[in-house]
Chains A and B, each alone.
Chain A
Amino acid sequence: SQQGEEDPQALSIQEGENATMNCSYKTSINNLQWYRQNSGRGLVHLILIRSNEREKHSGRLRVTLDTSKKSSSLLITASRAADTASYFCATDDDSWGKLQFGAGTQVVVTP
């Protein structure tokens, strides 16, 4: 079964707007990671947040982690057409030491 569940499943925005997607998970984690997948390509790592961190930034990306609610959010600010992709959260499960992925959020940014 999947550990992470993203919400929404799909998101359509215009260039310049912010995009926010959420990830909920079920068990305790070592870290949570976000990945991007362009159509027909492999996944690319975006950002990793450890269980003892609450917020992390990388360029136009902002990730938050609330371990009490077992949830994370990814914010992409000032979206560009090139941000069109699927975004996945992945959790490093405490007992397995490997990642489990959610089903992803498909983001479309229109010019």
Chain B
Amino acid sequence: NAGVTQTPKFRVLKTGQSMTLLCAQDMNHEYMYWYRQDPGMGLRLIHYSVGEGTTAKGEVPDGYNVSRLKKQNFLLGLESAAPSQTSVYFCASSYSRGGNTGELFFGEGSRLTVL
């Protein structure tokens, strides 16, 4: 039972470097999300997708790009990393019924440090 798998789990970048976080889910969920979690701030939505080939901006999209070429995968890219992007990134997926969001299934997180 893989659920939601995130890779890599840890990464250290230098300012200006680029990287991609990969999220894969095996539950055939339509919705996928990328959140970031910073101390004392809970989770903030970066980007989300309501289906293959579609993406939309969340609360804090600047500096990030996403792609959903396959239903099971949701990629989060940092084109030019900045220290402010040091955070723990969580991917999640969910089914949706009539526009209402169901429970989210989370990955274990990807811890990114930008020096």
Provided the pairs A30-B100, A30-B101, A97-B99 are in contact, do residues A42 and B45 lie with their beta carbons within 8 angstroms? no
Please state if B102 and A48 are interface contacts (CB–CB under 8 Å).
yes
Within 8 A of B (CB), among A53-111: 88, 90, 92, 97-104
Among B43, B100, B107, residue most surrounded by chain A Cβ atoms (within 10 Å) = B43
Please state if B104 and A43 are interface contacts (CB–CB under 8 Å).
yes
**Band of interface residues on A:** 20 to 34
Provided the pairs A30-B101, A48-B103 are in contact, do residues A103 and B31 lie with their beta carbons within 8 angstroms? no
Please state if B40 and A97 are interface contacts (CB–CB under 8 Å).
no
Query: How many whole Å from B97's CB to the nearest CB in chain A?
Result: 10
A-B pairs with beta carbons under 8 A, tally: 63
Is A20 in the interface zone, CB < 8 Å from B?
no
**Band of interface residues on B:** 20 to 34
Chain B interfacial positions (CB closer than 8 Å to A): 4, 31, 33, 35, 40-45, 48, 50, 58-59, 90, 92, 96, 99-109
- What are 28 pairs between A and B in contact, CB < 8 Å? A30-B101, A31-B100, A33-B104, A42-B106, A42-B109, A43-B43, A43-B92, A43-B106, A44-B106, A48-B102, A48-B103, A88-B43, A92-B100, A92-B101, A97-B96, A97-B100, A98-B31, A98-B33, A98-B48, A98-B101, A99-B45, A99-B101, A100-B45, A101-B42, A101-B43, A102-B42, A103-B41, A104-B42
